[in-house]
Amino acid sequence: MLPIALTLGEAAGVALDITIAAWARRERERLPPFIFLGSAANIAERAILLGIDCPTREVEPEEAALVFPMALPCLPGFPEAKAEPGLIAREDAALTIQSIRQAAEFVADGRCSSMVTNPIAKHALNEAGFAYPGHTEYLADLGEQLFGEKRRPVMMLAGPDLRAVPVTIHVPLCDVPRLLTTELIVETGKIAAEELKRRFAISSPRIAVSGLNPHAGEKGVIGKEDIEVIRPAVDLLCQAGIEAEGPLPADTMFHPAARRRYDLALCMYHDQALIPVKALAFDHAVNVTLGLPFVRTSPDHGTAMEIAGTGRARPSSLMAALHMAAEMSRSPVQA
């Protein structure tokens, strides 16, 4: 069995904590085997601080699945991060980036099935000269470099009861109407639908498309975007053979009966998608990057440096990310 490549993340945050806590729950949670692309010494030191018995073994990915039941597999020779809990070390930025790239290379080489990324401190990477806004953009670049495929990545948040994709992501709310176009909605919807087929074995995905304005614009009384931008996008998605419905009022899209009618909610902006997912499954939601030539998932939380090393960090979202990466890797990928 191929292991999942789990990245270092920000060593000053809870990445080490949740990695150790997840491995400690491997049997009870029936976790798929993973290899930690970071220093075994960092794991051992943090495990002592947390009071968790977590033996480590430095092995190559090919041996990770065999070792996993007895010890946490770690990549041999990976340099030790200098950070202490809650205190970022500037020189660790290079290790964080190295770990992400190594994970992508292992997947590209067929040595790992997929990758799960631990939380990073974006400001620390940017201060060290990292040229990307975050994981997603860097992974898209790595996909082109390693797989020869230039693709547009799409962010999906997924919990046990809801999958949601925001069309616009990390932009000010006041800019959303200007950035929202029919073409962008259609492109995002098509990528999401294709990935539900390829990675989640949903043969005919049903997509609920939210409106932008209250009550989906109330037939143009509360804004024209729903009529002029979103409705044409829904029509084009339907013409492309995708079962899409909308624009729908966002305040009535997420109750249980409504959620049973679709496989994915396509939302117009960040909070419109993320609030319902996190309200329904705060500790179990997963960040999934759709559209890449490889599988990548991540816990849906940040570095939480204020609780690093305290034992208060919960590994639930990381464990959900590991399970989802394994599920997506097992799904038959169609050309």
Bind-site residues for substrate: 135-136, 278, 287, 296
Write out the binding residues for a divalent metal cation: 170, 215, 270
Nearest of 272, 268, 283, 270 to residue 233 by alpha carbon = 268
Alpha carbon distances (Å) from 252 to 32, 211, 257: 37, 11, 10
Nearest of 50, 42, 34 to residue 12 by alpha carbon = 42
CA distance linking residue 299 with residue 64, whole number of Å? 22
Alpha carbon distances (Å) from 113 to 2, 89, 144, 330: 5, 31, 18, 9
| CA torsion, ordered 281, 287, 288, 289, to nearest 10 deg | 150
Inter-helix orientation angle 182-200/316-330, to 10°: 80
Write out the binding residues: 135-136, 170, 215, 270, 278, 287, 296
CA distance linking residue 302 with residue 173, whole number of Å? 21
CA distance linking residue 31 with residue 22, whole number of Å? 8
CA distance linking residue 31 with residue 245, whole number of Å? 36
Strands of the 296-299 sheet, one edge to the other: 56-58, 72-74, 34-37, 4-7, 114-116, 296-299, 286-290, 154-159, 162-166, 264-267, 206-210, 243-248
CA distance linking residue 90 with residue 305, whole number of Å? 15
- Look at phi and psi of residue 148 and say left if phi exceeds 0, alpha if psi is from -120 to 50, else beta: left
Could you tell me which residues come within 8 angstroms of residue 26 by beta carbon, excluding any fewer than 6 positions away?
68, 69
